[in-house]
């Protein structure tokens, strides 16, 4: 994993469905994975692959990686 400003680069030798990341202490307004924007889940119940969800001081990002090298862009 490499983090630069608002971009996270992942090298995933194994691609698992519903891959989930947790970001702490960032006021995330939007997320895209490999150029595809994720929808904001309004509740934990609606949180699923292809969405992001804010709860207290954490943001959860879930997606199905399709490539070994994946780029996540975060808008704050």
> What's the pLDDT tens digit per position in 47-60?
999 999 999 999 99
pLDDT value, residue 15: 87
44 has pLDDT over 90: yes
Task: List the structure tokens of 72.
Answer: 């996540």
Is residue 26 very low, low, confident or very high in pLDDT (cuts 50, 70, 90)?
confident
What are the boundaries of each domain within the chain? 2-75
User: Rounded to an integer, what distance in angstroms lies between the CA atom of residue 65 and that of residue 34?
Assistant: 9
Q: Are residues 8 and 19 in contact, defined by beta-carbon separation less than 8 angstroms?
A: no
24 has pLDDT over 90: yes
In percent, the amount of the chain with pLDDT more than 90 equals 93
User: Rounded to an integer, what distance in angstroms lies between the CA atom of residue 31 and that of residue 34?
Assistant: 10
Secondary structure of 2-45 in HEC code, one letter for each residue = EEECCEEEEECCCCCCCEEEEEECCCCCEEEECCEECEECCCCC
């Amino acid at each position: 994993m490499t983090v630069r400003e608002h971009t996270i680069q992942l090298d995933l030798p194994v691609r698992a469905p519903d891959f989930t990341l947790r970001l702490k202490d960032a006021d995330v307004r939007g997320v895209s994975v490999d150029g595809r924007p994720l929808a904001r889940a309004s509740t934990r119940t609606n949180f699923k692959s292809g969405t992001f969800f804010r709860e207290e001081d954490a943001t959860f990002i879930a997606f199905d990686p399709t490539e070994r090298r994946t780029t996540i862009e975060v808008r704050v």
